[in-house]
Amino acid sequence: MRRALWLLGVVVPAVASADAKHPNPFLSQAKVFATQGEGDKCLKRLLQAEQKWKYNDKKDRAEIELYGGICGYLIGETQAAEVSFKNAVKIYPKIELPKDLGPGIEQLWAKATGKAAPIASTTPPPPAKEEKPKVVETAPPPKKEEAPPPPAPVAPAKKVEEPDRSAYAETETSTPVASEPKGRNVVLPIVFGVGAVGAGVGGLVMGLQAKSHEAQFKSLDTYYSDAQAFASQARTEALVTNILFAAAGALLIATIVAIILG
């Protein structure tokens, strides 16, 4: 019994410390919504990050207050945002505002905390390459052209007597040849039409799948890792949908041209 209690006391803290090493998934999703300008979704994720994640340290709690101020500013709650900025600095004085959030958030941060906003990183342009002066080569003097040799004498061509074709002309005019009617080619229009219908149906199916995965990505009940997978799959399906619709349009045009030309 004592041995079992000793093992329980060793294993449980080890599991807790292993979970504490992982980042707060709700806080990670709130940061994504903040960069996308979706303040309402960001605040909902921050509430879950504070209540549902049990391993928040001092820095995590400060970041929750920091992004609470950012997302509060996005929905127009400037006073609450200013209070959140002050709380973030009180919890973790070393915390800094992320870059490129806009002048409004940066001014409110400086007013609430007395800290300057971070300067956006800019890379200096590469130095211009010095062009070497081109050396103009002078053309060589023209060579004297030699006179061509006289042409060789040409032997006179023998006159070939042509046969009398009047008899053949009379037989050709007397027996007219009936022109064979040309049949219309219906194979190509059918093939192009079936291909256009198939590509259109395939594009419709892929489009519905892309819409479904996009809705799952935007759902608040989807975890961050699953949301990223749904977003990537939705982009791929949307690209395939556009390709199939373009192919359907091209095949439809080919079908009409084939019908007209016959």
Domain stops at, among 94, 113, 132: 113
Residue 256 lies in a domain: yes
Nearest to 109 by CA among 122, 123, 99, 120: 99
Q: Is residue 27 part of a domain?
A: yes
Under DSSP, the state recorded for 233 is H
Number of domains in the chain: 2
- In this structure, how many other beta carbons lie within 10 angstroms of the beta carbon of residue 171? 8
Domain membership of residue 81 (yes or no) is yes
Cα separation, 172 vs 150, in Å, equals: 50
Same domain? For 107 and 27 the reply is yes
pLDDT value for 223: 74
pLDDT (average), residues 178-188: 63
Length reported for the chain: 262
CA gap 110, 89 in Å, rounded = 12
- Binned at pLDDT 50, 70 and 90, residue 168 comes out as low
Regarding pTM above 0.85, the answer is no
Q: Which residue has the tokens 């042509």?
A: 162
Q: What is the pLDDT of residues 246-260, one digit of tens each?
A: 998 998 898 898 888
Mean pLDDT lowest among 59-73, 82-96, 150-164: 150-164
Q: Is residue 125 part of a domain?
A: no
Asked, for residue 128, whether it belongs to a domain, the answer is: no
Percent of the chain surpassing pLDDT 70: 67
Look over the chain and give the mean of its residue pLDDT values, rounded to a whole number: 77
Quick check: is 150 in a domain?
A: no
pLDDT at position 137: 62
Query: Is 120 within the bounds of a domain?
Result: no
In the listed set 113, 134, 150, which residue is the last one of a domain according to the structure? 113
User: In this predicted model, what pLDDT tens digit does every residue of 101-127 receive, in sequence order?
Assistant: 889 988 888 988 888 877 765 555 455
Name the pLDDT band for 2 (thresholds 50, 70, 90).
very low
3, two tokens: 């041995």
Q: Among 113, 140, 158, give the residue marking a domain's end.
A: 113
Indicate whether 134 belongs to any domain: no
Domain boundaries, position 203: 185-261
Position with higher pLDDT, 88 vs 127: 88
What CATH number corresponds to the domain at position 108? 1.25.40
Q: Nearest CA to 66 among 44, 46, 37?
A: 46
